[in-house]
Amino acid sequence: MPDLTVSELGRRYQVAHSTVARAITRATALRAQGHLAPAPPAPVNPGEPQLRYPTDQMDAWWPLRPPRGRP
């Protein structure tokens, strides 16, 4: 499976690309604070202007991402 950008992942999950970007940012921040939230997959091209993520790992992580908003 090809690696996808945040915009392509948004289309895949039928959400806005900003939703995917915020989920990745939020999960990374929670992990840095010591929370047990699952870490998002690392981009396969760090440092590039348009990051690409491994599709199979994102598909596994997406349903497990930290909850957002009110309970």
Domain ranges of the chain: 4-64
| pLDDT tens per residue across span 7-56 | 999 999 999 999 999 999 999 999 999 888 889 999 999 999 999 999 99
CA dist 1 and 16 (Å) reads 21
Please state the pTM of the whole predicted model.
Answer: 0.88
Does 68 score more than 80 pLDDT? no
Query: Considering the domain 4-64 in this protein, what is its CATH number?
Result: 1.10.10
| pLDDT tens per residue across span 24-37 | 999 999 999 988 88
pLDDT at 44: 96
Residue whose tokens read 């939230």: 37
CA dist 38 and 4 (Å) reads 20
